Structure 1
Amino acid sequence: MSNNTNKILTALAAGIAIGGILGILFAPDKGENTRKKIADNSKKLSDSILDTVKEGKNKISGLKHNLRDRAESLKESVEEFAS
């Protein structure tokens, strides 16, 4: 992924995490329950982000292979035409 894409995904994930934590902290509940909610939601968020990143990498890899195949096909067509 490009550097800008990584920055955007990181900022998005941080914003979601901070918003979720603030929402939990300001909700009326016992401290023990709040800490458990934060831990549970942090794990879910982490898993979700990792899944999204893996999916993005797979899509980019597929696009890269597709582009490479098309470039090779175009190269072969040009070579045949030039012959």
Structure 2
Amino acid sequence: MSKENSNSGFAFIAGLVVGAAVGALAGLLFAPQSGEETRKQLGDKTKEVADELLDKFDELKESMTDVIDGVKRGTAETIE
């Protein structure tokens, strides 16, 4: 994986976190509902964002594993 792709993955995750935080804050400010409902909704949204982040992290980890395996193969072939 190139440095550009690695940075792109990080930028996506950072954007996802910031976007979720801004969306949650806007929802709280403009929500015409009780505090209990708002807290439940915020908890649900937090879990949803956390699950998405874990999925993206797993994808990034898998990509990095593939890159490392490719480098190992290339190095082994060069040595032989």
SS in 1 for 2:33: coil
Tell me the percent identity: 31
Query: Residues 25 and 38 (structure 1 numbering): CA distance in 2 closer, same or farther, change over 3 Å?
Result: farther
Instruction: List per-residue Cα deviations over 1:4-31 (Å, max 9, x = no partner).
Output: 5686333541332232332243122222
In the other structure, the counterpart of 1:69 is 73
Instruction: List per-residue Cα deviations over 1:26-81 (Å, max 9, x = no partner).
Output: 122222111110011001111111221122012111111112112211332xxxxx
In the other structure, the counterpart of 1:30 is 34
Bigger radius of gyration: 1
Unaligned 5+ segments in structure 1 are 77-83
TM-score with structure 2 setting the length: 0.70
Aligned residues: 76
Alpha-carbon RMSD across the aligned residues, in angstroms, is 2.6
Q: Give the 5 Å matches for 1:1-83.
A: 8=11, 9-10=13-14, 12-76=16-80
TM-score with structure 1 setting the length: 0.68
Q: Return structure 1 stretches of 4+ with deviation > 4 angstroms.
A: 2-7
Unaligned 5+ segments in structure 2 are none
